[in-house]
């Protein structure tokens, strides 16, 4: 039997494979009541992670503004989506794009002091200064690279989200330090959300 956050994570994983899931299929697969599934889907919908529809749930897709191109992450080469985008403005006018806050924070730590960076608030999609944002690290929601890092425009939103999905609320420096420590202990072939083939 799954606990709530494990069930919700499993639903998100299933949505990566299938765009739409039916409640009756989730009931069978997760072996819980329809009411439990409805409650899980409501929480995922409220968090902006999935869209609850009549009789089921659909994947939430994030797109860049009309007419813009997907930029490859400067660290891991994954596409940068509007939902998780992180942009660093270099001193000579160049821009570094990161697919998520995980890669963005690692890239930012390599830059000179005073560099400007923008991140996307996870709940409402607003653009936030990376230096002023609040980060939720290692929640049960993994959208991109591991360890998971989600950006929020304020601490209150991050703490509310933490209640449902766990993780640790941190400021920029704490999140960067946590990532550096976590990456130091990770096997070299395991990074950016997937296990790579060893050479």
Residues 30 and 83 both lie in one domain:
no
Instruction: Say which residue the tokens 């940068």 belong to.
Output: 80
Using alpha carbons, select from 18, 23, 49 the residue that is nearest to residue 139.
Answer: 49
Q: What 8-state DSSP symbol labels residue 98? A: E
> Residue 96 is part of which domain span?
71-194
Residues 51 and 84 both lie in one domain:
no
Residues 15 and 113 both lie in one domain:
no
128/151 Cα distance (integer angstroms): 9
182: tokens are 């976590």
CA distance readout (Å), 64 to 34, 83, 85, 120: 35, 8, 9, 12
74/148 Cα distance (integer angstroms): 18
The pLDDT of residue 5 is above 70: no
- Digit-coded pLDDT (tens) for 60-79: 654 334 334 457 888 888 87
Mean pLDDT of 74-87: 82
- Digit-coded pLDDT (tens) for 117-172: 999 888 888 888 999 999 999 999 888 889 999 999 999 999 999 998 999 999 99
CA distance readout (Å), 19 to 14, 89, 117, 139, 148: 8, 35, 33, 23, 22
Residues 151 and 127 both lie in one domain:
yes
Domain boundary (38, 59, 80) is at 59
69: tokens are 């191109």
Residues 126 and 159 both lie in one domain:
yes
Residues 103 and 132 both lie in one domain:
yes
136/149 Cα distance (integer angstroms): 6
Residues 26 and 109 both lie in one domain:
no
Q: CA dihedral in degrees (158, 71, 188, 115; nearest 10)?
A: -60
> So what's the pLDDT on residue 56?
94
Residues 148 and 175 both lie in one domain:
yes
């Amino acid at each position: 039997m799954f606990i709530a956050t494990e069930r919700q994570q499993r639903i998100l994983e299933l949505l990566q494979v299938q765009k739409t899931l039916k409640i009756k299929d989730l009931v069978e697969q997760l072996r819980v009541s329809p009411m439990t599934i409805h409650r899980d889907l409501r929480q995922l919908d409220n968090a902006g992670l999935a869209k609850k529809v009549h009789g089921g749930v659909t994947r939430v897709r994030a797109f860049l503004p009309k007419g813009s191109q997907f930029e490859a992450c400067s660290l891991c080469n994954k596409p940068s989506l509007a939902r998780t985008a992180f942009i660093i403005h270099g001193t000579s006018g160049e821009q570094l794009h990161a697919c998520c806050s995980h890669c963005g924070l690692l890239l930012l730590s390599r830059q000179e002091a005073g560099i400007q960076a923008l991140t996307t608030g996870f709940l409402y999609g607003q653009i936030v200064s990376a230096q002023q944002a609040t980060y939720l690290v290692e929640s049960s929601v993994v959208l991109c690279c591991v360890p998971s890092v989600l950006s929020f425009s304020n601490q209150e939103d991050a703490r509310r989200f933490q209640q449902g999905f766990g993780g640790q609320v941190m400021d920029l420096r704490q999140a960067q330090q946590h990532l550096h420590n976590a990456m130091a202990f990770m096997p070299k072939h395991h990074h950016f959300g997937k296990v790579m083939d060893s050479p």
